[in-house]
Amino acid sequence: MRNVIIAGNWKMNKTFSEVEDFLDDFVDELEGTDHAGVEVVICPPALYLELASDYAQDSTFFTGAQDVSAHESGAYTGEISASMYSSMGITHCIIGHSERRKYHHEKDSLIHEKLQKLLAEEIVPIVCVGETLEEREAGITRNVILDQLKGVFEGISFNDPIVIAYEPVWAIGTGKTASPEQAQEIHAIIRQWVKAHVSPAAAENVPILYGGSMKPENIAELISQPDIDGGLIGGASLDAKKFIAMVKTAVEM
């Protein structure tokens, strides 16, 4: 059985003291929650990773970054490398988020390079794929997802842990959630691709998270789908009460 993963993507939110407040509340609540079988990951802005990983040392959550450089080191102003993260004890990293694809023009080939850098440092990549509203309305969702999978995962063995997140772009931050059936359909396509192009064992083991306006009110119906193994949660992960409520729902299921 695959573990369930509840991951919070804070994006560019919170001041230092807000991060401390969140973590104080969250760590207290998490301590009283037996969440065996449910992995919890918090992805704050890079500046707060050290603080979050300090809290994580005495707690049971993992700390993840939101992006990584495709380069190893050197003259890349503003970038952070995978080896820097691993030297700080950071265990997870989101790559290929649609906001990076949109605002920073990231292509699958670049995301593939970032993936390789993370795997070399034994950091668990959380690789995002997803279609835009125009693509869904044009009826090409399946092809868009398959192209992204091919572009990012070509030649990747899946011998190390990899997490995939299906995040329909039209559902991110919009309050519009994919229905459980819509999400399940794409999750099954993703798992089938891994089965056909990597191996049946890799397909069985890879956690596939849903992301896009997931919240306490809709998490249960989404993660009860057979191929939905948890969530990558933006807005609702900023509130410690909502985030812990989602962890608890996952535990109960």
Which residue, 149 or 235, is less far from ligand PGA as judged by CB? 235
Find the binder of ligand PGA among 172, 190, 194, 208 (CB under 6 A): 172
Tally Cβ neighbours within 10 Å of residue 161.
15
Of 39, 99, 131, 167, the active-site residue reads 167
**Shortest Å, Cβ 83 to ligand PGA:** 25
* Among positions 30, 111, 163, 233, the unique one binding ligand PGA when judged by CB under 6 A: 233
Which residue number has the CB closest to ligand PGA?
A: 234
CB of 234 to ligand PGA, least distance (A): 2
CB 94 within 8 A of CB 68: no
Compute the least distance from the CB of residue 94 to ligand PGA, in Å.
8
The site for ligand PGA, by CB under 6 A, has a size of 13
Which one of 97, 99, 106, 131 is the catalytic residue?
A: 97
Kindly tell me which of 96 and 235 has the beta carbon lying closer to ligand PGA: 235
| Closest to ligand PGA by CB, 194 or 236 | 236
Q: Quick one: 81 or 212, whose CB is closer to ligand PGA?
A: 212
The number of angstroms, rounded, from the C-alpha of 198 to the middle of its chain's C-alpha atoms is 21
Exactly one of 5, 6, 9, 108 binds ligand PGA (CB under 6 A); that residue is 9
- Please, which residues bridge with residue 138 across strands? none
- Catalytic site includes residue 39: no
* Interaction mask 188-227, ligand PGA, x per CB under 6 A: -----------------------xxxx-------------
Whether 104 sits among the annotated catalytic residues: the reply is no
- Chain-centre distance of CA 214, in angstroms? 12
Pair 83, 65: CB distance under 8 Å: no
- Tell me which of 135, 234, 243, 244 binds ligand PGA, using CB under 6 A: 234
At residue 85's C-alpha, the angle toward residues 227 and 202, to 5°, is 25
Residues catalogued as catalytic: 97, 167
Q: Which residues bind ligand PGA (CB under 6 A)?
A: 9, 167, 172-173, 211-214, 232-236
